[in-house]
Amino acid sequence: MNFKNIAILFLIGTVSVSCSQQSDSTQTARSESQTSPVFSKGEKITNDNFVGTAWLNYLAEADTVHNVNIGLVTFEPGARTNWHYHKGGQILLVTEGKGLYQEKGKPVEIIEMGQVIKCPPNIEHWHGATLTEAMTHIAIGTNTNIGGAVWLKPVTDEEYNAI
C-alpha cells in the first residue's frame, strides 16, 4: 500500500520525545470495561486506490533507517483496495472484524481478527472487508528501501459480488 499517495492524511495527535515517539492522543488508557480502539481509524481515504469507504491512520512513515511503513487501515463493509503489489512485500495483522484477501490466480481467502498474512514482494493481490462486515488491519510495508506499492485496476463490483 503506497502511503505516499495518501500524503494529506496524517496521524491524529503526535508526541515527540527522544526516540521518535508518536501517540494517538484521542485514545485514553483502556480498561476492561472500555472497547475503544487502540489506534483511531484516522482519516477517510480519498484517493482512487480503494473502492468503497476506507480509513487510514498512518502509524509510522517509511524512513531510511527502519525501511518499513506502518498504517492502520479500516475498511467499511464492501470496501477494498485495488489490485496492487508491493516491491518490498507486506505483512498484515488483522485486528478487527472479518475480511477478504486474494492473490492473482488464487481463490479468495477469508481473513479474521488475530490472523497474520505475509505477502511476498511483487505478488499482485487485494484485501478488504466483506460485503456485510468491516475489517481493520495493521499493514506493514516491508523493505521500503526497495520500493513501495504499485497500484493497478480496481476490484470490480462484478468480481467482488461474485465472491
Cβ 147 to a second copy, closest distance in Å? 14
Instruction: Tell me the β-bridge partners of 125.
Output: 84, 103
> Binding of a second copy at residue 160 (CB under 8 A)?
no
Contact partners, residue 50, CB within 8 Å, separation at least 6: 79, 80, 81, 82, 128
> Binding of a second copy at residue 24 (CB under 8 A)?
yes
CA–CA gap between residue 68 and residue 74 (Å, rounded): 19
Ranges within 64-123 binding a second copy (CB under 8 A): 65-68, 70, 89, 91, 93, 95-98, 101, 103, 106, 109, 111-121, 123
Specify the residue, 51 or 68, whose C-beta has the smaller distance to a second copy.
68
Ranges within 122-151 binding a second copy (CB under 8 A): 123, 125, 138, 140, 142-143
> What does each C-alpha distance from 16 to 20, 21, 37, 50, 53 come to in angstroms?
6, 5, 22, 31, 31
CA–CA gap between residue 97 and residue 114 (Å, rounded): 9
CA–CA gap between residue 88 and residue 145 (Å, rounded): 8
Q: Which positions touch a second copy (CB under 8 A)?
A: 15, 17-27, 29-30, 32-35, 38-40, 59-60, 63, 65-68, 70, 89, 91, 93, 95-98, 101, 103, 106, 109, 111-121, 123, 125, 138, 140, 142-143
